[in-house]
Every structure is written in structure tokens, then in C-alpha cells.
Amino acid sequence: MDTLIQISYFVAAFLFIYGLKRMSSPLTARDGIVWAGVGMLVATLVTFFYPGMENLVLMTTAIFVGGVAAFWSGKRVAMTDMPQMIALYNGMGGGAAGAIAAVELLRGEFHSQTFLTLAVLGGLIGSVSFSGSLIAFAKLQGWLQRPLRFPGQQVFNILVLLVAVGFGALLVIQGEFSGTIILIFFVAALAYGILMAAPIGGADMPVVISLFNALTGLAVAFEGFVLNNAAMIIAGTVVGSAGTLLTQLMARAMNRSIGNVLFSSFGSSGSTEADSVEGSMKPIDAVDAGVMMAYAERVVIIPGYGMAVAQAQHKIKELMKMLLDRGVDVKFAIHPVAGRMPGHMNVLLAEADVPYERLYDLDEINPVFPQTDVALVIGANDVVNPMARTNPDSPIYGMPILNADHAKNVIVIKRGQGKGFSGVENALFFGDNTRMLYGDGQAMVGELIEAVKGL
């Protein structure tokens, strides 16, 4: 039976890796999720046959309740709320790893000092990921509107982390599993997760979510060693390494280090003289904008979080099809950190069945802008801000952006004249070649469609 269990765990781990590989492309992502789900089903079912397994009724009840809750919430969640759902579910993974560590520490039955150390590390990292992800969820949900900052915050945060590490080391060195020490250890770890995420602004959420994803994977891998569970070790390692690489890519896309994301004040609201812009925004109506796009040769559409909020992706697909029917070359420019989670725009456009071959990343599309007749910006802000290239005093200076301002004409769909999530004024909106189409994203794209139809 033990051989069959280990083979099943190996099969489950293979399915996890295969599923993750399939998820690397929007064309095969749905299949990848199914394969990974089958792997999770295999790993879950085989656990019931593990020798000496107890509490089967409790396990079955927990799986049923969790499965029903996940199925119900997954069906109901809107695509605009997907980032906070991912943050929440990622936090649950970290919390599960922390809970495993707590149970094992209270039980106090470790084969060696190494397993004890891994249990403590897994508990620390999982708890930080759990509470930090909950804060990320609250920020994305709009429950925490502003970053929480106070004088001496970084020093205080380090002290809290040292308390968690110190009591964790005490557990490892003494080998005495006092309930009080364990409680202080986990409280300090959870507190550090909150303090770590609380001061981070919304503009950094894609990086933060992928970072906590990496931490969750690492915690699960550590607890897999403690439980001698091959599936947890492999799955956690894969998720941890993939999350780490993704975090580095996200930070590089913003031209910032991980430390700068975690410890700087970027992403806060408020304006400064450094990002002030002279001039005025020039409005345009939907009819004139529609005519401009209909008679263009090349159009590049730049989606952002505003498109997600307006749920305008299906209307954008309809507009794309109408322009293609008129012989217009239509492309989509996707910035790595557009939206509130990694790949946010790809997910939304895939939901609307926008062909993947029309999606171009930053390096591919930027050389195209000078030959583009119209760049349509819908809901994007910081990722098209020329100040990132031109103003050394701007907080976003050096961040790679989509060069929308190099297009012959720019149309920006925006609700009002507010700033982006980073709180930095956007010079693109004041450009001589830019016109502002004010209103709800979905409604304005609908008016563009009617304007094109009327030609």
C-alpha cells in the first residue's frame, strides 16, 4: 500500500507540474487548470488510504465544506474581483501550511532537528503569507483605502520579525514545545505579515501578490518535508520557484527592486511638484473618436484596470472585430503590471475570446507605436505615463512603459481627470496628440461601436 501511495503522490506531482506548464500560455491555461485539479484530486483521495490515518469523518466534512464554498464563490466572483480572490485563496494556502506547523509543534514528535527547523520555518513563512495576503485582499477589495504608515515603522516591523524569529529559534534550540512559546511565535509571525503588507500601495499589488504566492509555495514545501509528503514537497517547490521568478519579472517590469517595493512609499496617494504637468486635457466625443479609428490603418488598444472595473472587455472585442472587418490592423498592448495581478489583462481578454496572437507584450509593441494611427487607452494610467522616461524626479522614473505617446493620435477613455493608483500625474493626458473621452469604459466603447457602425 505504501508503494501505491508514493506512486500516486508522484503522479499527482507530475500533474501539478504539467498543469503549471500548460498555464504558461492563455491558449492552454484552461486545460492546465483541469490537469492540476486532477492532480489535487489524486493527492487528496490517496491520503485517505495512508496507514494510521484518523479523523476520516472530520477530513471528509472539511473537504466537503471547503469544496462547496470554493465552487460557490468561484462561480459568483466577477472577473473584476479576481485579483482579491487570488490573494485570498493564496492566503488560505499559507494559512494551511501554518496550521500544519502548529499541529506538529504541539504534537512535538520530530525525527530530527532538521524536521523541527523546517516545521518552524514553514510556520513562520506560511503565517506571514496568510496575514499579508488577507491585507492584500482587503486593499484590493477597497476595505483599506490608504497605505498604513507611521514614524519608525520599519524599525518596529523588524523588531516584530525578530520576536517571531527569536521564539522560533527558541523552539528549535530547546526542543521544548511550550504552548505559550508557540502562541507568541505565531502571533508575532501573523503580526509581521500584517505590518509587512499594510504600508504597500495599491500600485504594487501585482508584485506583492506574486511574492506571497512564492512564500506560500515555500511554506508548503517545508511542511511537505515534515509530513514526508512527496506531493506537497514537489508542488510547493514548483509554486515557490515559479512565484519567485514571477515576482522578479514583475519588479523588473517596474524597474524596482523587491526591497524598494516592500519598504518604499511608492503607491501612496497625493501629488508632488515633481509630477506636476503644464497644459490641459482636451476632450473628444465618441463620434469623432469612432471616425478616427474607423479610417485608421493601424490601431493599438491598451487595456488597464479601468477596463476590468467597467467590464468592457467584451465590448472591446466587438469593437476590434468591427475595425478588422473594415481592414484596420488592430493589436493589443499588454504591460506586465497592468491591472491588480500578474496577467490580469490577458485573463480578461481571454475571457472575451480576443485572439491570443493579437496580444503583444511591451518589447514587441513599443517599436510599433510610431507607425500607429490611433492608440486607444482604456483604463490604463501609470503604465503609459511618459514621465517614467522624461522626469528624473518622478516616483515612476525608469519604469518601462508602453510608448503610447509616440502614436500619431491617442484616445484615452477615462471616468474623470483623476490620477492613477500610484498618485502620479500622467503627462500623456496633456499631450498635443491626446484626446480624452470621458465616461464609463463600457458605455464609451459602446458609443465608439455605434459611431463605427454609422459610417
| Contact predicate 194/212, CB 8 Å | no
Domain count within the chain: 2
User: Quick check: is 353 in a domain?
Assistant: yes
Residues 235 and 142 in one domain: yes
Task: Give the CATH number, domain containing residue 374.
Answer: 3.40.50.1220
Contacts of 159 (CB under 8 A, 6+ apart): none
Q: What CA–CA distance (Å, rounded) separates 288 from 294?
A: 10
| Contact predicate 362/399, CB 8 Å | no
| Contact predicate 452/319, CB 8 Å | yes
| pLDDT score at 216 | 96
User: Quick check: is 60 in a domain?
Assistant: no
**Residue whose C-alpha cell is 472577473:** 79
179-197 vs 82-107: helix crossing angle, rounded to 10: 160
Q: What CA–CA distance (Å, rounded) separates 296 from 440?
A: 24
113-141 vs 179-197: helix crossing angle, rounded to 10: 40
How many CA atoms are closer than 13 Å to the CA of 286, on its beta-carbon side? 20
Across the beta sheet with 409-414, the strand order is 359-361, 329-334, 298-303, 374-378, 409-414, 434-438
C-alpha cell at 284: 473628444
C-alpha cell at 209: 501578490
Residues 433 and 321 in one domain: yes
Residues 230 and 293 in one domain: no
Q: What CA–CA distance (Å, rounded) separates 325 from 261?
A: 44
| pLDDT score at 422 | 58
| pLDDT score at 229 | 84
| pLDDT score at 421 | 56
User: Quick check: is 54 in a domain?
Assistant: no
> Nearest-CA neighbor of 129 among 231, 206, 219, 198?
219
Report in angstroms the alpha-carbon separations of 397 from 90, 224, 226, 246, 256. Answer: 31, 42, 45, 22, 10
Residues 203 and 300 in one domain: no
Residues 105 and 229 in one domain: yes
One-letter amino acid identity for 114? T
Residues 379 and 410 in one domain: yes
What does each of the 455 residues of the chain score in pLDDT, given as a tens digit?
778 888 898 899 899 889 988 887 777 888 999 999 999 999 889 888 887 788 889 999 999 999 999 999 888 887 778 888 989 999 999 999 999 999 999 988 887 889 999 999 999 999 999 999 999 999 888 788 677 888 888 899 999 999 999 999 999 998 778 889 999 999 999 999 999 998 887 667 778 888 999 999 999 999 999 988 888 898 899 899 989 988 888 888 777 778 777 776 544 444 444 456 777 899 999 999 999 999 999 999 999 988 988 889 999 999 999 999 999 999 999 998 888 777 889 888 988 999 989 999 999 999 999 999 999 999 998 899 999 898 888 878 888 999 999 999 999 999 877 666 556 789 999 999 999 999 999 999 999 999 999 88
- Domain end marker among 233, 263, 293: 263
Q: What CA–CA distance (Å, rounded) separates 68 from 290?
A: 46
Q: What CA–CA distance (Å, rounded) separates 445 from 455?
A: 16
Residues 347 and 223 in one domain: no
- Indicate the pTM of the whole model: 0.81
User: Quick check: is 45 in a domain?
Assistant: no
| pLDDT score at 269 | 44
Residues 192 and 248 in one domain: yes
Residues 306 and 353 in one domain: yes
- Domain end marker among 232, 263, 294: 263
Which helix (H) or strand (E) element contains residue 414? Answer: strand 409-414
Residues 423 and 302 in one domain: yes
Q: For residue 436, what is the DSSP state?
A: E
User: Quick check: is 300 in a domain?
Assistant: yes
User: Quick check: is 143 in a domain?
Assistant: yes
Cβ neighbour number for residue 288 with a 10 Å cutoff: 14
Residues of the domain holding 341: 279-453
Contacts of 79 (CB under 8 A, 6+ apart): 308, 311, 313, 347, 348, 351
| Contact predicate 375/409, CB 8 Å | yes
Cβ neighbour number for residue 173 with a 10 Å cutoff: 10
Active site amino acids: 382
Residues 231 and 306 in one domain: no
User: Quick check: is 44 in a domain?
Assistant: no
| pLDDT score at 30 | 84
Residues 286 and 403 in one domain: yes
Contacts of 67 (CB under 8 A, 6+ apart): none
**Residue whose C-alpha cell is 532537528:** 113
- Domain end marker among 263, 287, 302: 263
Looking at the DSSP bridge assignments, the partners of residue 377 are 302, 412
Counted residue by residue, the chain has a size of 455
